[in-house]
Amino acid sequence: MNTSPTPVVSARKLGLTFQTNDGPVHALSDVDLEVSKGDFVSFIGPSGCGKTTFLRVIADLEKNTSGEISINGMTPEEARKSRSYGYVFQAPALYPWRTIEKNIALPLEIMGHSKAERKERIERTLDLVNLAGFSKKYPWQLSGGMQQRASIARALAFDADLLLMDEPFGALDEIVRDHLNAQLLKLWAATSKTICFVTHSIPEAVYLSTKIVVMSPRPGRVTDIIESTLPRERPLEIRETPEFLDIAQRVREGLRAGHSYEE
């Protein structure tokens, strides 16, 4: 499937079952996936399909109950302890008692970077997300889109090669989302990071990704993996091209094959 020598994420027969009062819930079952360096992988599917759970297993925020997963050749726990990924949540989760720059400094403080280095990294990442003038503001003084950009800057600040993003733009309106999607692509091109991106928007998945993982619920599983044929350079207008619509159609078919459109 993938011939790259260093898969960033490699999952074999991965399964996760939650024990609940209503019996076991199969959040993930038999997931096989490889993510290579520099990929932009989107996970798409209806709610309950396990796309967020899969991201959380990569991040060692959940433990798989069967199968194997390795991140850069390490177990998820080792990968987390060696700080090899940055995680962007559905909500910005900025600390309201810290200014934007202090929020970005948070992981750097925890990881023991020097003051001068923190300053340099804060400036660099704020530039990357176009928030340079807002370093002294508190999160609640910024708009939702700016807050989410700040949280991306926070995930970028400590230079992890892998960026895990869990519906980061889900709560934003479509205009802001378009803008941030374009910015995210630029950022990806500028930093050459590997990005795993959870979304429930088909256009967003097609526009951003080099690889689209289509998932379906009950049990959560992968129904299709689509390699994008779009060029890496993607203006917003690419979404009107036949090629784009073609890939979107394939995603829709994958969702239908997984019975995702049924009740």
Partner 1 sequence: MSMLLRSWQGTGALILCLVALARLPLLSPEASAPFGSGTTAMILLLVVVGALASFLRMQEAALAGILFVAAHFTAWLLIAGLSGNEGQANLSFFLLVAACWLLGWRCISVLAEIRPKTGGASTALRLLIPAIFGAWVLILWEAITRGAGVPFILLPPPSAIWERIIGSVSILAADVRQTIFKAVLFGYAVGCAAGFIVAILADRVAFLRRGLLPIGNLMSALPIIGVAPIMVMWFGFDWQSKAAVVIVMTFFPMLVNTVAGLGASGAMERDLMRSYASDYWQTLIKLRLPAAMPFIFNALKINSTLALIGAIVAEFFGTPIVGMGFRISTEIGRMNVDMVWAEIAVAAVIGSVFYGVIALAERATTFWHPSNRGG
* In the complex, least distance from residue 83 CB atom to partner 1, rounded to whole angstroms: 6
Figure out which of the listed residues 109, 120, 159, 227 binds partner 1, where binding follows CB under 8 A: 109
* Residue 28 or 59 with smaller CB distance to partner 1: 59
**171 binding partner 1? (CB under 8 A):** no
Q: Using CB under 8 A, which of 17, 46, 106, 137 touches partner 1?
A: 106
Strand 221-227's sheet: what is its strand order?
85-88, 162-166, 194-199, 40-44, 211-216, 221-227
Q: Which stretch binds partner 1 (CB under 8 A): 18-26, 90-98, 124-132, 179-187?
A: 90-98
Interaction between residue 138 and partner 1 (CB under 8 A): yes
Residues that bind partner 1 (rule: CB under 8 A) add up to a total of 25
Compare residues 87 and 244 and give the one whose CB is closer to partner 1.
Answer: 87
Give the nearer residue to partner 1 in terms of CB position, either 126 or 162.
Answer: 162
Q: Which residue's CB is nearer to partner 1, number 158 or number 197?
A: 158
Question: Is residue 242 a contact residue for partner 1 (CB under 8 A)?
Answer: no
Retrieve residue 125's tokens: 């990442």
- 3-state DSSP assignment of residue 136: coil
Quick check: 95 binds partner 1 (CB under 8 A)? yes
Identified binder of partner 1 from the candidate list 12, 83, 124, 259, rule CB under 8 A: 83
Q: What are the backbone angles phi and psi of residue 243, rounded to the nearest 5°? A: -60, -45
Residue in this structure with the two tokens 């044929």, named with its chain if needed: 229
Give 214's strand partners: 44, 224
- Where are the strands (E) in the chain, listed by range? 7-20, 23-36, 40-44, 66-71, 85-88, 162-166, 194-199, 211-216, 221-227
Residues 1-60 that bind partner 1 (CB under 8 A): 59-60
In order of 54, 71, 134, the CA distances from 60 in angstroms are 10, 10, 32
Residue 89 binds to partner 1 (criterion: CB under 8 A) = yes
Asked if 169 and 181 touch (Cβ cutoff 8 Å), the reply is: yes
Q: Which is nearer to partner 1, 43 or 244 (CB)?
A: 43
Name the strand (E) or helix (H) holding 253: helix 242-257
The yes or no reply on residue 140 touching partner 1 (CB under 8 A) is yes
Q: Is 114 a binder of partner 1 (CB under 8 A)? A: no
Cβ neighbours of residue 179 under 8 Å, at least 6 residues apart? Answer: 145
Residue 6 per-residue DSSP state: S
The residues of the shown chain that bind partner 1, judged by CB under 8 A, are 59-61, 80-83, 85-87, 89-91, 93, 95-97, 106-107, 109-111, 138, 140, 158
